[in-house]
Structure formats: structure tokens, C-alpha cells
């Protein structure tokens, strides 16, 4: 009889412990509200605890940018003088002549920001074109005089100013925030001179 009572008490103890463990799980799964939700006045009205951002969504604006040429000026420039040929003193008069084929390329220095094709179109020539031409020069030589013929290359030199254009694609506002200058040179001709001594 005592053993039977002990078994019943043990069974009741186990049942009590099991119910204690199971009930909280059932209550938690049965709740329709998630963490961060609040039940108001016993109704199903739910509000969030998330605090809205204080700063509004930024007003994204598009900026379109490119480089343009806004000014160009032209002048003549020269390379250094080179000795072409020379004659010694003589008891007779005559002619000293010089002829040569020259291969000379256009060029540019400074800072180029616009596309090279745009620079070419603006100037009307290719800034890297090479020209081959033959030039000659003659001078009369007097008796007992020596002569030297010199030559140098003449160029048309340009000063081309560029600037960076920015346009706000929403408002149409235009402004500039960068400047650069490039100096193209175009072959023009060969210049000669004779010096008598």
C-alpha cells in the first residue's frame, strides 16, 4: 500500500514539473504580438517603437560636367637658329646655296582637357600631323668674304583656354570650377638668313 502511494505521488510530481515547463512556451507562441509591439486598451491596435529619422531623405540632384574651349589666340613663334652651310673667303665671287627636305610635326604643350578631336576641330588642323617639305635658300658671295646660312622653323602658336562646365540637370544652373590652358603649334615655314663675315 505504501509503495502504491509513493508511485502516485511521484507521478503527480512529474506531471506538475512538466506542466510548469510547457505552459510558458504555449503562452509565448499563442501571443499574436511580436517584440517591439504594444497592445493599447485591450484592442488589436499596434504601434511600433521605432523612432523615425530626424533628417529627411536627401534631395538627390544630377550634375552633368564636361570641358569646353572658350578662348583661343594666335601668334607666330620660332625655333632656334641652326647652321645650314658655310663658305670660306675666296678671291672670286659666286653663290652659296642650301636645300633640304624637312620633316616637322605639329605639337602641343600645357594641359589638354578637351578631347583631342575637339581641339583639332576648333583649330582646323591636326595637332600631331607631320609635314614633309623641301626648302632652299641662296645668297650671293662677295670676294674675300665668308658666309654662313642659318635656318629655323616658324610656327603658328595658339593659346587655347579651357574650362570645366557643370550644369545642375534639375535646375539648369550652370557654373565653372576648373580651368586649363594648352599651347598647340602648327608648322608654318622654314626661315633662312645669311651672315657675312
**Longest Cα separation, the chain:** 162
How far apart CA 163 and CA 175 sit, in angstroms, is 10
Residues contacting 68, CB < 8 A, separation 6+: 114, 162, 163, 165
What size, in residues, is the chain? 197
pLDDT tens, residue by residue, 132-151:
999 999 999 999 999 999 99
Q: What is the pLDDT of residues 155-186, one digit of tens each?
A: 999 999 999 999 998 988 999 999 999 999 99
- The residue written with cell numbers 593659346 in the block is 159
pLDDT tens profile 63-122: 999 999 999 999 999 999 999 999 988 888 899 999 999 999 999 999 999 999 999 999
Burial of 119 (0-12, 13-18, 19+ CB in 10 A): buried
Residue with cell 616637322: 104
Say how far apart CA 112 and CA 28 lie, in whole Å. 72
- Give the Cα separation of 15 and 9 in Å (integer): 10
**Distance from C-alpha of 131 to C-alpha of 104, rounded to nearest angstrom:** 5
Amino acid at each position: 500500500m505504501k509503495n502504491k502511494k509513493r508511485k502516485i505521488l511521484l507521478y503527480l510530481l512529474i506531471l506538475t514539473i512538466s506542466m510548469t515547463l510547457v505552459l510558458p512556451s504555449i503562452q509565448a507562441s499563442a501571443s499574436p504580438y511580436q517584440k517591439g509591439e504594444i497592445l493599447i486598451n485591450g484592442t488589436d491596435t499596434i504601434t511600433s517603437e521605432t523612432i523615425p529619422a530626424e533628417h529627411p531623405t536627401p534631395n538627390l540632384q544630377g550634375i552633368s560636367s564636361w570641358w569646353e574651349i572658350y578662348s583661343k589666340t594666335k601668334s607666330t613663334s620660332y625655333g632656334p637658329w641652326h647652321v645650314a652651310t658655310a663658305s670660306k673667303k675666296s678671291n672670286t665671287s659666286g653663290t652659296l646655296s642650301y636645300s633640304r627636305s624637312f620633316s616637322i610635326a605639329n605639337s602641343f604643350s600645357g594641359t589638354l582637357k578637351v578631347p583631342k578631336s575637339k581641339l583639332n576641330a576648333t583649330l582646323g588642323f591636326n595637332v600631331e600631323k607631320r609635314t614633309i617639305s623641301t626648302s632652299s635658300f641662296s645668297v650671293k658671295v662677295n670676294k674675300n668674304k665668308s658666309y654662313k646660312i642659318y635656318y629655323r622653323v616658324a610656327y603658328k602658336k595658339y593659346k587655347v583656354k579651357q574650362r570645366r562646365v557643370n550644369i545642375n540637370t534639375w535646375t539648369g544652373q550652370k557654373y565653372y570650377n576648373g580651368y586649363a590652358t594648352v599651347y598647340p603649334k602648327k608648322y608654318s615655314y622654314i626661315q633662312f638668313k645669311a651672315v657675312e663675315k
